[in-house]
Amino acid sequence: MTAEYDAYVELLNSNPENNSEFETVLIRHSKFSKTHYYVFDSVTLNAALQSGVYVDFLPANASTTNAENSNDLDQAATFTLGDLENNLDDELDRIPLGDTEDIIIGYGIYTTGNLDRPAAYVEYIVDSIPQKEGAFSIRCGAPKLNIDETGEIFDYDRFPMLRYI
Give the pLDDT confidence of 130-157 residue by residue, as tens digits.
Answer: 887 778 888 887 665 555 555 566 666 7
The confidence score (pLDDT) of residue 33 equals: 93
Residues 61, 33: Cα–Cα separation, whole Å: 22
What is the per-residue pLDDT across 9-43, written as a single tens digit (0 to 9) for each? Answer: 776 666 666 678 889 999 999 999 999 999 998 89
Q: Which of 165, 87, 85, 80 is nearest to 130 (CA)?
A: 80
Q: Is 128 helix (H, G, I), strand (E, B) or coil?
A: strand
The confidence score (pLDDT) of residue 148 equals: 54
Identify the residue with better confidence: 89 or 68: 89
Measured CA angle at 91 (ends 87, 93), to 5 deg: 120
Q: What is the 3-state secondary structure (H, E, C) of 83-126?
A: CCCCHHHHHHHCCCCCCCCCCEEEEEEEECCECCCCCEEEEEEE
- Report pTM: 0.74
The DSSP code for 162 is: G
Beta-strand pair 54-59/36-39: parallel
Quick check: 163 pLDDT over 80? no
Residues 110, 118: Cα–Cα separation, whole Å: 5
Please state the domain extents for the chain. Answer: 3-164
Beta-strand pair 54-59/21-28: unpaired
What is the per-residue pLDDT across 92-126, written as a single tens digit (0 to 9) for each? Answer: 889 998 888 989 998 888 988 789 988 888 888 88
Residues 114, 22: Cα–Cα separation, whole Å: 11
Q: What's the pLDDT band for 53 if we cut at 50, 70, 90?
A: very high
Identify the residue with better confidence: 149 or 52: 52
By the 8 A CB rule, do 22 and 40 touch? yes
